[in-house]
Amino acid sequence: MAAAGVAAPSRRDRVRAATSQEIIQIARKLLITEGSAAISLRAIAREMGMTAPALYRYFESHEQLLHHVIAGIFTELSDYVEAEVAAAGPGGDSGSLTEATENGLITACQAFRRWSVAHPAEFGMIFGAPLPGVDLYHDDPLLQCGMRFGAIFMGLFIELWRIKPFAVPADADIEPAFRAQLAHYRETVGADLPLGVLQTFLRCWVSLYGTVTLEVFGHMRFAVDDPAQMFELMLTDLAALIGLEYPRRG
């Protein structure tokens, strides 16, 4: 039901929105089955029984379509990770906040890996080589979707540091040129934090992203067929860096 004073979408608007969503879904299907190079307006039009020029009534360009495809993938990933963190618990009882945050951070890392391994084509599109005409760090809605995803990990990380501070480098001990870059990053994310906390956060993200990327793209096959244990070892190292025990004992 439409909110009071707000007109419900017209039938024409509903049909347009449904068609736009169908175009995005077909583009994603082509990504999965044939790779990103197959996402062309002509191929999508053929799947939909339309002409390629007709698609321009819904998307101004191929790049704009890619923006919406990637934004949808980012949103799905963020929704999945957030749902897994929410289900991790515990919560509510006195003294559980630290444990909930610790579990949430580890769960977020595990959920990121599970989704990525299950969706290699989508992972490659948002975390692989940049696509022509797509800038994840400046183009909306990609920027907002990417920031939402990053905020899941950043929020848990900062919460853990405030509840249970772990050792981080003093700002003065960080290499000057890198210190300036971290200061700029701090302004970008709007976080009132010591630079050493942000440096440690980036160290953790590089470890997580690098390990998952190697697995998704099959670059551990030179040594192991199933790199799951390498992920577990990475989590053990990451946990030690921020004062957590992983795997938990007792």
Q: Please give the DSSP secondary-structure letter assigned to residue 138.
A: T
pLDDT confidence of residue 7: 63
pLDDT interval class at 99 (50, 70, 90)? confident
pLDDT confidence of residue 94: 41
| Spatial contact of 215 and 117, defined as CB atoms under 8 Å apart | yes
- Strands, DSSP E only, in 62-118? none
Per-residue pLDDT, averaged over 54-80, amounts to 89
Closest of 191, 232, 32, 192 to residue 124, by C-alpha: 32
CA 14 – CA 106 distance, rounded (Å): 41
Residue 144 burial (CB count, 10 A): 13
pTM value?
Answer: 0.86
Closest of 208, 215, 194 to residue 238, by C-alpha: 208
Residue 190 corresponds to which tokens in the numbers above? 């709007």
CA geometry: angle at 162 spanning 104 and 94, to 5°? 65
Q: Is residue 102 pLDDT above 60, yes or no?
A: yes
CATH 2.60.120.620 assigned to 7-59: no
pLDDT confidence of residue 92: 44
Give every CB contact of residue 193 below 8 A, 6+ residues apart in sequence.
158, 161, 186
Start-to-end CA distance of the chain, whole Å, equals 52
- CATH 1.10.357.10 residue ranges in the chain? 60-241
- CATH 1.10.10.60 residue ranges in the chain? 7-59
Q: Is residue 93 pLDDT above 80, yes or no?
A: no
Per-residue pLDDT, averaged over 127-145, amounts to 78
Domain 60-241 homologous superfamily, CATH: Tetracycline Repressor, domain 2 (1.10.357.10)
Residue 224 corresponds to which tokens in the numbers above? 């192991």
